[in-house]
Structure 1
Amino acid sequence: MPQKKILMICLGNICRSPIAETVMAETLAKAKLDSVVVDSAATGSWHVGNRADPRALSTLQKHGLESKHIVRQITKQDFYEFDYIFGMDEDNMSDLRRLAPKDCKAELLMLGDFGLSKEKRIIEDPYYQRGDEGFEVAYQQCVTACEAFVKQRLLQ
């Protein structure tokens, strides 16, 4: 099977997309799909060069996972190198469609369209919420969506 590449996208690449990247990597490892590469990036440049939000890292650690991701912004080249690019919400998807070159190789998908109900398909940005609750909700949504995507698209 040729190597597949998955890119997770959110606004700042410090909350949802690094959680989604880590969860997808864990899901792929459990499915023994070691040849699939996962990364994450931002649509905006505010946090480039930083680590993920401490609340995102803490949420991952609570579930026995670790992220060493350094924030980066999506590039035009990403649309040619990745097979799947996932947005977390409608704004991310709108940005991705606007940024994507016409001959883009990547399939642009909303992560929450896999395994989540229509009412819960948006992975809300927990950045401005107090506490860790929003990060835990995003984590749980990512677990469900990543498992559903792997089963539907990669384990056929």
Structure 2
Amino acid sequence: MVRVLFVCLGNICRSPSAENIFRHLVKTKGLDSVVECDSCGTGAWHTGEPPHPKALAMAQKRNIPMTGKARALRDQDIEVFDYIIPMDRSNLRDVKDLVSRHNRKPRVELLLKFAKNKKLAEECNWEVPDPFYGFLSGGVYGGDEEFEFVFDLLEDACEGLLEAIISNRSTSPTSSEAN
């Protein structure tokens, strides 16, 4: 079993969206018996909350089932997950700091490093912008435009991530022995 953990700041917008997009892709490809995923935030202030209403609406618009409750990154996540996938460099620093205190070293990469649309990922500086804020509309809070943009990024990068996982499993000398 390959286990993937998506990480953002509060676990209500980007990481739960990535988790559910990725889970949908995995299920669509019939890989749900070999790949599983979860998400969390580096902060704990939204613990127990559902995904942001605009994330839920965008997922529904794209026929992607959206489930889960926010939780914070935990020490035991380092021991459980094979891939830990932060959304931005701040999340990446927090994850790497936690990983440095453990013997087990999961693969830690920014999600957009797996993007199929490398040009767009590079334009975003390899970070998934937080749709909670109005980075496109200029408003204080993000609107539909920001969530649409982020979902496009997430779908593209999640496809690339799944392809990388499949490729790694098929070329690994121990892939037939994987739990």
Distance 1:138 1:114 in 2: 15
Deviation at residue 119 of structure 1 after TM alignment: 2.2
Matches within 5 A, 1:129-144: 129=134, 130-144=142-156
Q: TM-score if structure 2 supplies the norm length?
A: 0.82
Residues 86, 92 of structure 2: 8 Å contact kept: yes
Distance 1:128 1:153 in 2: 31
Matches within 5 A, 1:9-28: 9-28=7-26
Partner of 2:159: 147
Q: Which amino acid aligns with 2:153?
A: Q
Deviation at residue 81 of structure 1 after TM alignment: 0.3
Distance 2:48 2:163 in 1: 33
Looking at CA atoms only, which structure, 1 or 2, has the larger radius of gyration? 2
Q: Deviations over 1:106-149 (max 9, x none)?
A: 21111100124222321100112231111111111111111111
Partner of 1:125: 130
SS of equivalent residue, structure 1 residue 137: helix
SS of equivalent residue, structure 1 residue 7: strand
Larger RCO, structure (CA 8 Å, separation 6 or more): 1
Distance 1:96 1:134 in 2: 25
Partner of 1:48: 47
Partner of 2:36: 37
Q: Deviations over 1:47-75 (max 9, x none)?
A: 00111110111110110112121101010
Deviation at residue 105 of structure 1 after TM alignment: 3.5
Distance 2:23 2:72 in 1: 20
Residues 23, 143 of structure 1: 8 Å contact kept: yes
Residues 84, 106 of structure 1: 8 Å contact kept: yes
Deviation at residue 102 of structure 1 after TM alignment: 3.4
SS of equivalent residue, structure 1 residue 69: coil
Residues 87, 93 of structure 1: 8 Å contact kept: yes
Deviation at residue 32 of structure 1 after TM alignment: 1.6
SS of equivalent residue, structure 2 residue 38: strand
Deviation at residue 31 of structure 1 after TM alignment: 2.1
Aligned length: 154
Q: TM-score if structure 1 supplies the norm length?
A: 0.93
Taking only the aligned residue pairs, the percentage that are identical comes to: 36
Residues 24, 65 of structure 2: 8 Å contact kept: no
- Over the aligned positions, Cα root-mean-square deviation in angstroms equals 1.3
Partner of 2:87: 88
Matches within 5 A, 1:55-70: 55-70=54-69
Deviation at residue 95 of structure 1 after TM alignment: 0.9
Deviation at residue 104 of structure 1 after TM alignment: 2.8
